[in-house]
Amino acid sequence: MNKENDDELALFSALTKGIKPLKQDKRHFAAPQKPKRELEIATTQLHADSYFSDTYQPLLPLEGAMRWSRDDVDSHELKRLRRGDYQPDLLLDLHGMRQTEAKLELAALIQACVKQHSHCCCVMHGHGTGILKQNLPMWLAQHPQVKAFHKAPKEWGGDAALLVLIDVGELPSWD
């Protein structure tokens, strides 16, 4: 019986010589981790959807330059925006974008301003059909981080752009 097992083992070894074993597939049934970029996009989408409504109508001027400020903001801030005292740190060009894309980009811009402690940014909407030019002030007036906005001076786009003043919060004091 022992000799028979040895013969079978030798035969089996001869038949399987040169065969590579199969690699075992490893299956992990836990939800895969989303990349950081996907999470940022999802967060931006959530912010854009929760802040910007197309039906909200803030009290905006019917005549003169497009301008708006929150009630708690000093009226001199609008004047400083108009004169160009604030230099925008970040620029956003919305030319050629659809409304949904523009909302997402605007939410991302405001988030980036807060993250980088940039008090002023410039949003260029262009002339075009006027859809973005009409909706942009309504969207900005709804966002809680926006303190004020004014039509940009000539060097930053004039009628085709808005300078936006962002509330970045209090800077930490180093006592």
Most trustworthy range by pLDDT among 35-49, 54-68, 103-117: 103-117
CA–CA distance, 111 with 116 (Å, rounded to integer): 9
Residue 174 included in any domain? no
Residue 34 included in any domain? no
Residue 50 included in any domain? no
Look at the pTM and tell me if it is higher than 0.85.
no
Domains held by the chain: number: 1
Domain assignment of residue 105, given as a range: 66-166
Residue 57: the pLDDT is 77
Residue 1 included in any domain? no
| Banded pLDDT at 175 (limits 50, 70, 90) | very low
| Banded pLDDT at 53 (limits 50, 70, 90) | confident
Label residues 43-59 b or e (16+ Cβ within 10 Å = b): ebeebbeebbeeeeeee
Residue 93: the pLDDT is 94
E-strand stretches of the chain: 67-69, 90-93, 120-124, 146-151, 161-166
Beta bridge mates, 90: 121
Residue 15 included in any domain? no
What is the domain-level CATH number for residue 72? 3.30.1370.110
Residue 48 included in any domain? no
Residue 132 included in any domain? yes
CA–CA distance, 105 with 94 (Å, rounded to integer): 8
Residue 173 included in any domain? no
